[in-house]
Amino acid sequence: MANTPAPNIAAVVLAAGKGTRMKSDLHKVLHPIAGHPMLLHLIGSVATLNPQRTVVVTGAGREQVEAAVAPLGIVTALQAEQLGTGHAVAQAEAALAGFEGDVLVLYGDVPLVSSATMRAMVARLHAPDAPAVVVLGFRPADPAAYGRIIADEQGVIAKMVEYKDASDAERAVTLCNSGLMAVRSADLFALLARVGNDNAAGEYYLPDIVMLAAADGRASAVIETSAAEVAGVNSRAELAGVELSWQNARRAQAMADGATLIAPETVWFAYDTVLGRDVVIEPNVVFGPGVTVADDVVIHAFSHIEGATIGAGAEVGPFARLRPGAVLGEHSKIGNFVEMKKAVLGVGAKASHLTYLGDARSGPASISAQARSPAIMMAFSNTKRLSARARSLGLTRRWWPRSPSARARLSGPGR
Protein backbone atom coordinates (compact mmCIF):
# COMPACT_ATOMS: atom_id res chain seq x y z
CA MET A 1 0.00 0.00 0.00
CA ALA A 2 2.86 2.39 0.77
CA ASN A 3 3.87 2.39 -2.90
CA THR A 4 0.38 3.02 -4.29
CA PRO A 5 -0.65 6.65 -4.86
CA ALA A 6 -4.04 7.78 -3.65
CA PRO A 7 -6.60 7.68 -6.46
CA ASN A 8 -7.39 11.39 -6.19
CA ILE A 9 -4.55 13.74 -7.08
CA ALA A 10 -4.49 17.43 -7.95
CA ALA A 11 -1.55 19.63 -8.87
CA VAL A 12 -0.94 23.29 -8.17
CA VAL A 13 1.77 24.73 -10.41
CA LEU A 14 3.21 28.10 -9.40
CA ALA A 15 3.98 30.32 -12.40
CA ALA A 16 3.38 33.84 -11.08
CA GLY A 17 6.99 35.05 -10.90
CA LYS A 18 8.09 38.01 -13.00
CA GLY A 19 11.29 36.37 -14.22
CA THR A 20 13.12 39.70 -14.45
CA ARG A 21 16.55 38.05 -14.65
CA MET A 22 15.59 36.40 -17.94
CA LYS A 23 15.41 39.87 -19.54
CA SER A 24 12.77 38.68 -21.96
CA ASP A 25 9.33 39.61 -23.24
CA LEU A 26 8.48 35.91 -23.15
CA HIS A 27 7.23 34.64 -19.81
CA LYS A 28 9.91 32.74 -17.95
CA VAL A 29 8.01 29.43 -17.77
CA LEU A 30 7.41 29.49 -21.53
CA HIS A 31 11.08 29.50 -22.50
CA PRO A 32 11.77 26.22 -24.29
CA ILE A 33 13.67 23.18 -23.21
CA ALA A 34 14.33 20.90 -26.20
CA GLY A 35 11.92 23.00 -28.26
CA HIS A 36 9.03 22.78 -25.77
CA PRO A 37 7.97 25.34 -23.12
CA MET A 38 9.33 24.31 -19.74
CA LEU A 39 5.90 24.67 -18.16
CA LEU A 40 4.50 22.14 -20.62
CA HIS A 41 7.33 19.72 -19.84
CA LEU A 42 6.20 19.76 -16.22
CA ILE A 43 2.50 19.52 -17.04
CA GLY A 44 3.25 16.56 -19.29
CA SER A 45 4.86 14.74 -16.38
CA VAL A 46 1.93 15.62 -14.13
CA ALA A 47 -0.51 14.28 -16.71
CA THR A 48 0.89 10.76 -16.38
CA LEU A 49 -0.54 10.69 -12.84
CA ASN A 50 -4.03 11.33 -14.24
CA PRO A 51 -4.77 14.21 -11.87
CA GLN A 52 -8.38 15.17 -11.31
CA ARG A 53 -7.42 18.83 -11.45
CA THR A 54 -4.39 20.89 -12.42
CA VAL A 55 -4.26 24.55 -11.48
CA VAL A 56 -1.61 26.97 -12.74
CA VAL A 57 -1.17 30.07 -10.56
CA THR A 58 -0.36 33.07 -12.73
CA GLY A 59 0.74 36.63 -12.08
CA ALA A 60 2.81 38.96 -14.22
CA GLY A 61 2.43 38.12 -17.91
CA ARG A 62 -0.52 35.88 -17.14
CA GLU A 63 -2.01 36.28 -20.64
CA GLN A 64 0.89 34.34 -22.17
CA VAL A 65 0.63 31.54 -19.64
CA GLU A 66 -3.14 31.32 -19.93
CA ALA A 67 -2.88 31.06 -23.71
CA ALA A 68 -0.29 28.27 -23.40
CA VAL A 69 -2.36 26.07 -21.08
CA ALA A 70 -5.85 26.82 -22.40
CA PRO A 71 -5.69 24.12 -25.13
CA LEU A 72 -5.03 21.58 -22.38
CA GLY A 73 -8.15 22.54 -20.45
CA ILE A 74 -6.11 23.60 -17.44
CA VAL A 75 -7.57 26.05 -14.95
CA THR A 76 -5.60 29.13 -13.90
CA ALA A 77 -5.74 31.21 -10.73
CA LEU A 78 -4.39 34.75 -10.41
CA GLN A 79 -1.93 35.94 -7.78
CA ALA A 80 -2.31 39.68 -8.29
CA GLU A 81 0.37 40.57 -5.73
CA GLN A 82 3.60 38.69 -5.21
CA LEU A 83 3.36 38.00 -1.48
CA GLY A 84 5.22 34.72 -1.24
CA THR A 85 4.81 31.05 -2.11
CA GLY A 86 2.25 30.39 0.62
CA HIS A 87 0.11 33.21 -0.67
CA ALA A 88 0.49 31.89 -4.24
CA VAL A 89 -0.78 28.41 -3.36
CA ALA A 90 -3.68 29.93 -1.44
CA GLN A 91 -4.94 31.51 -4.68
CA ALA A 92 -5.76 28.01 -5.96
CA GLU A 93 -8.29 27.34 -3.19
CA ALA A 94 -11.34 28.31 -5.24
CA ALA A 95 -10.20 26.22 -8.20
CA LEU A 96 -9.85 23.20 -5.90
CA ALA A 97 -13.16 23.69 -4.13
CA GLY A 98 -14.80 20.33 -3.54
CA PHE A 99 -11.66 18.36 -4.32
CA GLU A 100 -10.76 15.65 -1.81
CA GLY A 101 -7.40 14.00 -2.19
CA ASP A 102 -3.70 14.76 -2.36
CA VAL A 103 -2.27 18.01 -3.71
CA LEU A 104 1.14 18.28 -5.32
CA VAL A 105 2.68 21.76 -5.17
CA LEU A 106 5.06 22.26 -8.10
CA TYR A 107 6.90 25.12 -9.80
CA GLY A 108 6.64 26.03 -13.46
CA ASP A 109 10.31 26.99 -13.61
CA VAL A 110 11.40 23.60 -12.22
CA PRO A 111 10.55 21.54 -15.32
CA LEU A 112 12.51 18.31 -14.95
CA VAL A 113 10.69 16.75 -11.99
CA SER A 114 9.76 13.24 -13.06
CA SER A 115 6.42 11.55 -12.63
CA ALA A 116 8.25 8.86 -10.65
CA THR A 117 9.35 11.44 -8.08
CA MET A 118 5.83 12.85 -7.88
CA ARG A 119 4.48 9.36 -7.25
CA ALA A 120 7.10 8.81 -4.56
CA MET A 121 6.00 12.00 -2.79
CA VAL A 122 2.36 10.91 -2.78
CA ALA A 123 3.31 7.39 -1.69
CA ARG A 124 5.27 8.78 1.27
CA LEU A 125 2.22 10.81 2.24
CA HIS A 126 0.35 7.52 2.62
CA ALA A 127 3.07 5.67 4.52
CA PRO A 128 2.07 4.13 7.88
CA ASP A 129 3.29 7.17 9.85
CA ALA A 130 1.00 9.41 7.73
CA PRO A 131 3.05 12.62 7.65
CA ALA A 132 1.10 15.86 7.42
CA VAL A 133 3.32 17.19 4.63
CA VAL A 134 5.92 15.57 2.37
CA VAL A 135 8.72 17.85 1.23
CA LEU A 136 11.09 17.12 -1.65
CA GLY A 137 14.66 17.83 -0.57
CA PHE A 138 18.01 17.79 -2.34
CA ARG A 139 21.70 18.32 -1.61
CA PRO A 140 23.29 20.77 -4.10
CA ALA A 141 27.03 21.15 -4.47
CA ASP A 142 26.61 24.71 -3.22
CA PRO A 143 23.64 25.11 -0.83
CA ALA A 144 23.90 28.89 -1.24
CA ALA A 145 20.68 30.66 -0.24
CA TYR A 146 18.29 27.71 -0.33
CA GLY A 147 16.01 27.11 2.61
CA ARG A 148 17.27 24.36 4.91
CA ILE A 149 15.58 21.19 6.17
CA ILE A 150 16.54 19.84 9.59
CA ALA A 151 15.54 16.16 9.70
CA ASP A 152 16.48 12.89 11.37
CA GLU A 153 17.79 9.75 9.63
CA GLN A 154 14.24 8.57 8.92
CA GLY A 155 13.45 11.81 7.15
CA VAL A 156 11.16 13.14 9.86
CA ILE A 157 11.41 16.93 9.80
CA ALA A 158 12.31 18.78 12.96
CA LYS A 159 12.47 22.22 11.38
CA MET A 160 12.39 24.05 8.08
CA VAL A 161 13.88 27.51 7.82
CA GLU A 162 14.47 30.03 5.04
CA TYR A 163 18.10 30.98 4.50
CA LYS A 164 17.44 34.61 5.45
CA ASP A 165 16.11 33.50 8.83
CA ALA A 166 18.54 30.64 9.50
CA SER A 167 21.25 30.60 12.14
CA ASP A 168 24.85 29.80 11.22
CA ALA A 169 24.38 26.24 12.46
CA GLU A 170 21.25 25.81 10.35
CA ARG A 171 22.98 27.25 7.29
CA ALA A 172 25.66 24.57 7.70
CA VAL A 173 23.05 21.87 6.98
CA THR A 174 23.31 20.60 3.37
CA LEU A 175 19.75 19.27 2.97
CA CYS A 176 17.83 21.94 1.09
CA ASN A 177 14.20 22.59 0.34
CA SER A 178 13.20 22.36 -3.33
CA GLY A 179 9.84 23.96 -2.55
CA LEU A 180 7.91 20.98 -3.92
CA MET A 181 5.41 19.39 -1.55
CA ALA A 182 2.62 16.87 -1.26
CA VAL A 183 -0.18 17.50 1.22
CA ARG A 184 -3.77 16.41 1.69
CA SER A 185 -6.35 18.87 0.45
CA ALA A 186 -8.11 18.67 3.82
CA ASP A 187 -4.97 20.06 5.48
CA LEU A 188 -3.50 22.39 2.86
CA PHE A 189 -5.73 25.45 2.93
CA ALA A 190 -6.45 25.22 6.65
CA LEU A 191 -2.72 25.38 7.32
CA LEU A 192 -2.17 28.14 4.76
CA ALA A 193 -4.79 30.28 6.48
CA ARG A 194 -2.58 30.27 9.58
CA VAL A 195 0.66 31.26 7.83
CA GLY A 196 1.92 34.73 8.80
CA ASN A 197 4.50 37.04 7.29
CA ASP A 198 6.57 37.85 10.35
CA ASN A 199 9.91 37.17 8.69
CA ALA A 200 12.83 39.02 7.10
CA ALA A 201 11.12 39.28 3.70
CA GLY A 202 7.61 40.02 4.97
CA GLU A 203 6.24 37.18 2.82
CA TYR A 204 3.91 34.23 3.39
CA TYR A 205 6.16 31.20 3.13
CA LEU A 206 4.74 27.85 2.02
CA PRO A 207 7.26 25.85 4.14
CA ASP A 208 5.72 27.36 7.29
CA ILE A 209 2.87 24.86 7.02
CA VAL A 210 5.33 22.16 8.12
CA MET A 211 6.01 23.89 11.43
CA LEU A 212 2.33 24.74 11.90
CA ALA A 213 1.48 21.05 11.51
CA ALA A 214 4.25 20.23 14.01
CA ALA A 215 2.66 22.63 16.49
CA ASP A 216 -0.49 20.54 16.14
CA GLY A 217 1.50 17.42 17.00
CA ARG A 218 1.73 16.15 13.41
CA ALA A 219 5.14 15.37 11.94
CA SER A 220 6.14 15.93 8.32
CA ALA A 221 8.68 14.05 6.22
CA VAL A 222 11.28 14.73 3.55
CA ILE A 223 12.32 12.53 0.64
CA GLU A 224 15.39 13.32 -1.42
CA THR A 225 16.13 13.60 -5.11
CA SER A 226 19.04 14.81 -7.21
CA ALA A 227 19.88 18.48 -7.55
CA ALA A 228 19.55 18.14 -11.34
CA GLU A 229 15.94 17.05 -11.12
CA VAL A 230 14.88 20.11 -9.13
CA ALA A 231 17.09 22.64 -10.90
CA GLY A 232 15.22 25.90 -11.33
CA VAL A 233 15.43 28.44 -14.14
CA ASN A 234 15.80 32.12 -13.24
CA SER A 235 18.35 33.23 -15.84
CA ARG A 236 19.53 32.40 -19.34
CA ALA A 237 22.55 30.63 -17.88
CA GLU A 238 20.32 28.41 -15.75
CA LEU A 239 18.11 27.76 -18.78
CA ALA A 240 21.18 26.50 -20.66
CA GLY A 241 22.10 24.30 -17.70
CA VAL A 242 18.66 22.70 -17.57
CA GLU A 243 18.70 22.20 -21.34
CA LEU A 244 22.02 20.38 -21.05
CA SER A 245 20.70 18.21 -18.22
CA TRP A 246 17.65 17.25 -20.29
CA GLN A 247 19.79 16.51 -23.35
CA ASN A 248 22.20 14.32 -21.39
CA ALA A 249 19.30 12.25 -20.05
CA ARG A 250 17.75 11.93 -23.52
CA ARG A 251 21.04 10.89 -25.09
CA ALA A 252 21.47 8.19 -22.48
CA GLN A 253 17.91 6.99 -23.08
CA ALA A 254 18.45 6.89 -26.85
CA MET A 255 21.50 4.68 -26.47
CA ALA A 256 19.76 2.47 -23.91
CA ASP A 257 16.92 2.02 -26.42
CA GLY A 258 19.26 0.79 -29.17
CA ALA A 259 20.55 3.82 -31.05
CA THR A 260 24.25 4.48 -31.63
CA LEU A 261 25.47 8.02 -30.98
CA ILE A 262 29.06 8.35 -32.15
CA ALA A 263 29.65 11.54 -30.15
CA PRO A 264 26.65 11.83 -27.80
CA GLU A 265 27.54 15.26 -26.46
CA THR A 266 27.17 16.75 -29.96
CA VAL A 267 23.69 15.38 -30.72
CA TRP A 268 20.72 17.59 -29.77
CA PHE A 269 17.23 16.14 -29.53
CA ALA A 270 13.81 17.78 -29.44
CA TYR A 271 11.28 16.90 -26.79
CA ASP A 272 9.33 14.63 -29.19
CA THR A 273 12.09 12.99 -31.26
CA VAL A 274 11.26 9.35 -31.99
CA LEU A 275 14.11 6.96 -32.85
CA GLY A 276 13.90 3.36 -34.02
CA ARG A 277 16.41 0.64 -33.23
CA ASP A 278 19.85 0.37 -34.79
CA VAL A 279 19.82 4.02 -35.80
CA VAL A 280 23.32 5.48 -36.16
CA ILE A 281 23.77 9.19 -35.52
CA GLU A 282 27.11 10.77 -36.33
CA PRO A 283 28.46 13.93 -34.63
CA ASN A 284 26.82 17.35 -34.72
CA VAL A 285 23.28 16.37 -35.62
CA VAL A 286 20.37 18.59 -34.49
CA PHE A 287 16.76 17.43 -34.26
CA GLY A 288 13.99 20.00 -34.24
CA PRO A 289 10.43 19.14 -33.20
CA GLY A 290 8.34 16.60 -35.06
CA VAL A 291 10.93 14.05 -36.23
CA THR A 292 10.30 10.31 -36.50
CA VAL A 293 13.17 8.02 -37.48
CA ALA A 294 12.54 4.36 -38.30
CA ASP A 295 14.91 1.42 -37.76
CA ASP A 296 18.34 1.06 -39.37
CA VAL A 297 18.66 4.69 -40.43
CA VAL A 298 22.08 6.36 -40.71
CA ILE A 299 22.26 10.11 -40.11
CA HIS A 300 25.62 11.51 -41.06
CA ALA A 301 27.38 14.45 -39.44
CA PHE A 302 26.22 18.08 -39.45
CA SER A 303 22.64 17.37 -40.46
CA HIS A 304 19.65 19.40 -39.24
CA ILE A 305 16.26 17.69 -39.19
CA GLU A 306 12.83 18.97 -38.15
CA GLY A 307 9.26 18.01 -38.93
CA ALA A 308 10.46 15.03 -41.00
CA THR A 309 9.67 11.34 -41.29
CA ILE A 310 12.55 9.04 -42.21
CA GLY A 311 11.80 5.51 -43.37
CA ALA A 312 13.66 2.34 -42.43
CA GLY A 313 17.14 1.93 -43.86
CA ALA A 314 17.33 5.49 -45.18
CA GLU A 315 20.54 7.52 -45.19
CA VAL A 316 20.78 11.25 -44.49
CA GLY A 317 23.70 13.63 -44.97
CA PRO A 318 26.30 14.68 -44.21
CA PHE A 319 25.39 18.38 -44.19
CA ALA A 320 21.74 17.69 -45.05
CA ARG A 321 18.73 19.72 -44.01
CA LEU A 322 15.27 18.20 -43.72
CA ARG A 323 12.54 20.77 -43.10
CA PRO A 324 8.89 20.27 -42.11
CA GLY A 325 6.98 17.99 -44.43
CA ALA A 326 10.02 16.04 -45.65
CA VAL A 327 9.30 12.33 -46.01
CA LEU A 328 12.02 9.81 -46.91
CA GLY A 329 10.93 6.39 -48.09
CA GLU A 330 12.60 3.19 -47.03
CA HIS A 331 16.21 2.84 -48.20
CA SER A 332 16.18 6.29 -49.77
CA LYS A 333 19.17 8.62 -49.57
CA ILE A 334 19.65 12.33 -49.06
CA GLY A 335 23.29 13.28 -49.58
CA ASN A 336 25.50 16.23 -48.68
CA PHE A 337 24.14 19.76 -49.10
CA VAL A 338 20.65 18.52 -49.96
CA GLU A 339 17.62 20.34 -48.55
CA MET A 340 14.04 19.03 -48.48
CA LYS A 341 10.79 20.77 -47.57
CA LYS A 342 7.25 19.46 -48.09
CA ALA A 343 8.64 16.78 -50.37
CA VAL A 344 8.44 13.00 -50.58
CA LEU A 345 11.42 10.92 -51.67
CA GLY A 346 10.20 7.49 -52.76
CA VAL A 347 11.43 4.06 -51.74
CA GLY A 348 15.04 3.63 -52.78
CA ALA A 349 15.26 7.07 -54.40
CA LYS A 350 18.41 9.14 -54.07
CA ALA A 351 19.32 12.83 -54.14
CA SER A 352 23.04 12.65 -53.69
CA HIS A 353 24.20 16.24 -53.36
CA LEU A 354 23.72 19.97 -53.99
CA THR A 355 19.96 19.70 -54.37
CA TYR A 356 16.80 21.43 -53.18
CA LEU A 357 13.61 19.36 -53.15
CA GLY A 358 10.52 21.38 -52.37
CA ASP A 359 6.76 20.87 -52.69
CA ALA A 360 7.36 17.76 -54.73
CA ARG A 361 7.10 13.99 -54.86
CA SER A 362 9.27 11.35 -56.47
CA GLY A 363 8.39 7.79 -57.30
CA PRO A 364 10.43 4.81 -56.08
CA ALA A 365 14.08 5.00 -57.11
CA SER A 366 13.33 7.78 -59.58
CA ILE A 367 16.11 10.23 -58.74
CA SER A 368 19.62 9.01 -59.26
CA ALA A 369 22.61 10.37 -61.14
CA GLN A 370 20.65 13.29 -62.57
CA ALA A 371 20.04 14.62 -59.07
CA ARG A 372 23.76 15.07 -58.61
CA SER A 373 23.80 18.17 -60.79
CA PRO A 374 23.26 21.42 -58.85
CA ALA A 375 20.86 22.61 -61.55
CA ILE A 376 18.62 19.59 -61.85
CA MET A 377 16.33 19.97 -58.84
CA MET A 378 15.65 23.70 -58.69
CA ALA A 379 12.17 24.23 -57.28
CA PHE A 380 9.47 26.62 -58.42
CA SER A 381 10.35 26.55 -62.11
CA ASN A 382 8.31 28.65 -64.51
CA THR A 383 8.46 25.90 -67.10
CA LYS A 384 4.89 25.03 -68.05
CA ARG A 385 5.35 21.43 -69.10
CA LEU A 386 7.71 18.49 -68.63
CA SER A 387 9.37 16.48 -71.32
CA ALA A 388 8.71 12.78 -71.64
CA ARG A 389 12.26 12.29 -70.39
CA ALA A 390 11.51 14.20 -67.16
CA ARG A 391 8.27 12.33 -66.62
CA SER A 392 10.08 9.04 -67.06
CA LEU A 393 12.37 10.07 -64.22
CA GLY A 394 9.38 10.78 -61.98
CA LEU A 395 10.12 14.51 -61.74
CA THR A 396 7.19 16.79 -60.98
CA ARG A 397 6.80 20.26 -62.38
CA ARG A 398 8.30 21.95 -59.37
CA TRP A 399 11.46 19.91 -59.80
CA TRP A 400 11.99 21.00 -63.42
CA PRO A 401 15.32 22.89 -63.78
CA ARG A 402 15.60 26.54 -64.61
CA SER A 403 18.91 26.21 -66.44
CA PRO A 404 18.52 25.69 -70.24
CA SER A 405 21.57 23.42 -70.29
CA ALA A 406 20.15 21.34 -67.49
CA ARG A 407 16.78 21.13 -69.26
CA ALA A 408 18.56 20.01 -72.40
CA ARG A 409 20.05 17.08 -70.51
CA LEU A 410 16.53 15.90 -69.70
CA SER A 411 15.03 16.76 -73.09
CA GLY A 412 14.68 14.41 -75.96
CA PRO A 413 12.40 13.58 -78.83
CA GLY A 414 9.44 13.71 -76.46
CA ARG A 415 9.87 17.48 -75.81
- Among candidates 249, 30, 263, 9, which has minimal Cα distance to 119? 9
Distance in angstroms (rounded) separating the CA atoms of residues 102 and 188: 9
Looking only at the bridges linking them, the beta strands covering 32-33 and 36-37 are antiparallel
User: Which one of the listed residues 27, 41, 331, 353 is annotated catalytic?
Assistant: 353
Could you check whether the bond before residue 318 is cis, i.e. omega within 30 degrees of 0? yes
Active site residue 331: no
- Residue type at 270? A
Question: CB neighbours of 167 closer than 8 A, spacing ≥ 6?
Answer: none
111 within 8 A of 38, measured Cβ to Cβ: yes
Q: How far apart are CA 305 and CA 310, in angstroms?
A: 10
Measured at the alpha carbon of residue 324, what is the angle toward residues 360 and 393, in degrees to the nearest 5? Answer: 20
Judge contact between 348 and 366, C-beta under 8 A: no
The residues carrying an active-site annotation are: 353
